[in-house]
Amino acid sequence: MRPLIIAHRGASHLAPENTLTAFRLAKTLGADGFECDVQITRDRHLVVAHDYLTDLKTGVHGNIPDMDFDDLRQLDFGKWKSPEFAGEKIPTLEEVLEVAQDFRMIHIELKPYLDRDEEIVDRIIDAVLDAGLEEKAVLTSFEYGALRRVKERMPQMATCAMTLSPESQLSQPATFWEKLGLKKTDPLVEKLSSPQALSEAAALLEDPSSLDEENSVLIYYLKDRLDFLYSIFPGMNLAEILQQYYYQTDFVNYVAQFGFPVDYVGPEYHAFFRDKNLVPNAHARGFKVAPWPVGVESRDDLRQLFRLDPELVVTNKPEVAVSILTGLGQWDESSKEG
C-alpha cells in the first residue's frame, strides 16, 4: 500500500503553520491529508494553533488558554513567516474542518492545557461529527487520558498515541535561541541543549530574575514547553514525568499496556531509525504507524522511512514526499487506498 502523505500543520515549510493558507496549499502540493493542533480559548472557542503562547508567531505576548477568541482574532499569525502572509488569522476548528472536506484524512491533535480542559475531547468529537468527517479523522495526543476518553465516547473513532523525548521539547539550533534573545556564547545555549535541559529550564523559571529583561520571550517559551509537559502528564512533577519517558523507551509495548484500544502509534520519526523493528513490532501488536514530522532535515530521511512501509508519514514537506514516492515507483494510483 502506498503510504498516505499527511502535511504537518499544513504545508508548514512553505506557509505559516496551522493556518487556512497552509492547509489549502497542502492540497495543491498533493498531500492526502493534514495535521493540526487544537486548543480551547478562555471563552471556550476551539482554535487551531500549536504553541500555547502567541509571542513567537504574532510578536504579541499572550497565552491562548487565557485569551478570548475576539482578541486572538486581532493578531497576525502569518507575518512571522513572510510579509506575503501578513493578515493571516488564527483559524477555528470549524473553519479547518471545512477545508478538510477535500482531503482523505485529517489528524487532529488534542492539546488540553494543564487540568482545565476536560471537555476538549467531547467538543472536538462533536465538531468532527457535525462536519461529517468521522471516517477521515484521526484524533492524536501526547495526553493518553484524552485518547481513553475518545474511545469511551466513540470507539470507532481512530486515535494515535504520540511521543517524543522530553529533551526534544527544548532541543533547538543556536539560531533559534538567538531569536529568543540569547547570544551564541551565552552559557544557557549549551545548558538548554544538554540532557539536563528540562531541569535547567525549570530552574530558570523558578528564578527568572537571573535573566536580563530582554530575555522575557525566552522565559515565555520555556514556560510554554514545560506547561505542555505538565499538561500531557497531569498531576506529575518533573521527576515523575521523566520516569514516564523512561517507560516509553519501548513505546509499542508501552501503548499495548494502556487497557484501551489505540489505532496508531506515533513516535517522532528518528525513533524508526534507532529501532528498525519498530514497524514490524507495531504491526504485530495490531497498531498502524505514523512517524512525524519527517522532512525537516533531508530527503534521505523520507526515503528511508518509506522503505520501512509505514501506513502514513507526517511531514513538513508534502511536496518533497510526493516527489520521492513518484520517483520510487513502488505504488501506483490504484494502491493509494489504505
What is the rounded average pLDDT of the residues 315-320? 94
Q: Of the listed 8, 13, 45, 107, which one is catalytic?
A: 8
Helices and strands of the chain, counted as H and E runs = 16, 9
pLDDT at 152 > cutoff 60: yes
Q: Nearest 5 degrees, angle CA 296-CA 283-CA 336?
A: 65
Residue 169: per-residue pLDDT: 61
Average pLDDT, the chain: 89
Tens of pLDDT along 9-34?
999 999 999 999 999 999 999 999 99
Amino acid at 49: A
Concerning whether 50 is annotated as a catalytic residue, the answer is yes
45 is an active site residue: no
Q: Choosing from 13, 45, 50, 107, which is the catalytic residue?
A: 50
Q: Residue 102 pLDDT more than 70?
A: yes
Helix or strand or coil: residue 193? coil
Between CA 292 and CA 299, with CA 293 as vertex, the angle to 5 degrees is: 110
Q: DSSP letters along 79-90, please? A: TTT-GGGTTPPP
Q: Determine the Cα–Cα distance for residues 295 and 13; give it in Å rounded to an integer.
A: 9
End-to-end CA distance of the chain: 6
* pLDDT higher than 70, residue 89: yes
Query: Is the model's pLDDT at 336 over the cut of 70?
Result: no
Coil, helix or strand at residue 42: coil
Give the Cα separation of 225 and 198 in Å (integer).
9
Parallel, antiparallel or unpaired: strands 33-40 and 46-48: antiparallel
Distance in angstroms (rounded) separating the CA atoms of residues 146 and 304: 32
Spatial contact of 93 and 100, defined as CB atoms under 8 Å apart:
no
Q: Average pLDDT in the 318-329 region?
A: 86
Cβ contacts of 243 within 8 Å, gap of 6 or more: none
Q: What is the pTM of this model?
A: 0.89
Q: Which residues of 91-122 are buried (b: 16+ CB within 10 A; e: fewer)?
A: bbbebbbebbeebbbbbbbbbbbeeebeebbe
Chain center to CA of 45: 19
On the question of pLDDT at 106 being above 70, the answer is: yes
| Statement: residue 212 has pLDDT above 90 | no
Query: Higher model confidence: residue 223 or residue 191?
Result: 223
Q: Which three-class secondary structure state does DSSP give residue 8?
A: strand
Confidence class of residue 246 from pLDDT cuts 50, 70 and 90? confident
